[in-house]
Structure 1
């Protein structure tokens, strides 16, 4: 079992994690193929980064086949929660309301998103009673 990651992933590591979350266990070549559709990336750079991610505990590596297969060792939701917590602490001094207000102001929110946000707030309110 890999050690639990102690630090948040970098932006480049997040790109790789997104590919693994979307596609499941993958080889370096698989990840490289996906990432190279949107920008120029080198195979060896992806390989090195995935090796570092394995050392950090962000991914696990199955070495039983010739082409090693990488899997995430953390769920997407766990990573998002950790990143939000880091942002909340560093940029908003722990103020959740300021974080939410800035998030809502940063992009146009659809009526469906607003409805879902209201539903989640109602649910949180019910749990806190």
Structure 2
């Protein structure tokens, strides 16, 4: 699988969240976080099309781009690499580090607790 750059990941996240979008929409969303020119966004989308990360619908005057890769596939691949390279393959070290960062919301903690309970219950059947 093709590994997206950080900028390409930003665009993929927009397309995963917003669905198929034109360059202007993608650029406007990026510009809510940082200043990026329209032509830069267009060029990135053209490169991503060549790499097979997105596909372009040219049937209308305004081209529409959509993600060609699934979020779960990219996230899984990136997580595996992070787990193996930064945490020596230890899922517990990764999770403890992530939770220890202090960036976990109360809602996320509840979801994590529910997942742990489900895993424990499934394992004891």
- TM-score category, normalised to shorter length: 0.7 to 0.9
Q: 1:18-29 counterparts in 2 under 5 A?
A: 18-29=13-24
Q: Select 1:58's aligned residue among 36, 53, 56.
A: 53
Q: 1:37-76 counterparts in 2 under 5 A?
A: 37-76=32-71
Q: Distance in 2 between matches of 1:57 and 1:124?
A: 36
- Bigger CA drift: 59-68 or 105-114? 105-114
Q: CA deviation at 1:49?
A: 0.8
Q: Distance in 2 between matches of 1:32 and 1:55?
A: 19
Q: CA deviation at 1:108?
A: 4.2
Q: Distance in 1 between matches of 2:123 and 2:104?
A: 26
Q: CA deviation at 1:95?
A: 0.8
> What is the root-mean-square deviation in Å for CA atoms of aligned residues?
1.7
Q: Select 2:28's aligned residue among 29, 33, 56.
A: 33
Q: CA deviation at 1:114?
A: 2.2
Q: Select 2:89's aligned residue among 85, 94, 97.
A: 94
Q: Give the number of aligned pairs.
A: 124
Structure 2 residue 98 is the aligned partner of structure 1 residue 103: yes
Q: Distance in 1 between matches of 2:61 and 2:67?
A: 19
> Mind listing any 5+ residue stretches in structure 2 that lack a counterpart?
none
List, as ranges, runs of 4+ consecutive aligned residues in structure 1 with deviation greater than 4 Å: none
Bigger RCO (CA 8 Å, 6+ sep): 1
